[in-house]
Amino acid sequence: MILLVITSITLITLDERGKGTGIIGSIRSGAHDVVAPVQRGVHDITQPVTDWFDGITSRGQLEKDNRTLRHQVESLKNQVRQGQADRSENARLRRLQGLNFVGDVKTVPGEVISGTPGNFDTTIEIDVGSARGVAKGMPVVSDGGLVGRVVQVGKNSATVLLVSDPSSSVAVRLPRANATGVASGQSGTSVLSVSFVNPDATVTKGMPVFTAGQQDGLYPAGIPVGTVSSVTKAAGANRYDIDVKPGVDLGRLQFVKVMQWTGPGGTP
């Protein structure tokens, strides 16, 4: 038992010091590669089952003696639902295709295949990895703006730390207020908290927030982060309390793009 405790503490210390690189990083990447096909399979299986289940439960009140017709109606309804889902998916993909804020940076499109297995971190698994040029540290975006950054890469999958995770910090800019700050995730909510904003700046609700792209920053400049959802400044206080609602619905992500941005210094 003592041996197990000592081994655990050694692992924790090594991992914290190495920041997930080296052999521990390689072991983690390998483990993700093993599970990714299953996650992909479960995702593919659950999607049509959920659609089918929705079809059954929302069928309505049709007469019993019209069984054949009812089946036909149901089949057509399912086709319509499938068509609507396809159109919606198509629209999302087209929006994703035309992201203007990524500029000249190459992107790798990916699909979300799973969430985190744990209860205390906020990550998603996507179906693209190092085989497609995805590397640790790369920013991940969707049609609404910033999603997060890659923190773990396997060959065909990657883990993305969402911008709403409490350990995530993003240098942001509020162009209309001509101010900068740092947006951090908060526990239990997708709303970001922005700190270090100049108290003399005029910040109002609804203002758009973008990544600042500061030197040695984790993200390039100009990616939409969200909009100011609440702003308070107590009388006499010399700081703002600003909340930002992300432009992306982080709980319902389906398609994302990984920006092959390697940072201002050449490393992500």
DSSP labels, 208-247: EEEE---TT-SS-TT-EEEEEEEEE--TT-SS-EEEEEES
Contact 141, 259 (CB under 8 A): yes
Instruction: Find the shortest distance in angstroms from Cβ 256 to another protein.
Output: 16
Contact 186, 193 (CB under 8 A): yes
E strands, 154-219, are 158-162, 169-174, 179-186, 189-195, 208-211
Instruction: Find the shortest distance in angstroms from Cβ 30 to another protein.
Output: 8
Instruction: Find the shortest distance in angstroms from Cβ 51 to another protein.
Output: 14
CA distance 135 to 155: 10
Options 22, 41, 83, 103; binder of another protein; rule CB under 8 A: 41
Which positions from 116 through 175 interact with another protein, judged by CB under 8 A? 116-121, 123, 151-152, 159, 161, 165-167
Q: Does 24 contact another protein by CB under 8 A?
A: yes
Q: Does 107 contact another protein by CB under 8 A?
A: no
Q: Does 32 contact another protein by CB under 8 A?
A: yes
Instruction: Find the shortest distance in angstroms from Cβ 135 to another protein.
Output: 17
Three-class SS state of 11: helix
- Please, which residue, 27 or 76, has the CB nearer to another protein? 27
Q: Does 12 contact another protein by CB under 8 A?
A: yes
First to last CA, the chain: 40
User: What stretch of H or E contains 107?
Assistant: strand 107-115
Instruction: Find the shortest distance in angstroms from Cβ 268 to another protein.
Output: 17
How many residues contact another protein, by CB under 8 A? Answer: 45
Using the contact rule CB under 8 A, the part of the chain among 74-82, 136-144, 183-191, 222-230 near another protein is 183-191
Distances (CA, A) of 18 to 9, 15, 22: 14, 5, 7
Residues that bind another protein (CB under 8 A): 1, 4-5, 7-12, 14-16, 24, 27-28, 31-32, 35, 38-39, 41-43, 46, 114-121, 123, 151-152, 159, 161, 165-167, 185-189
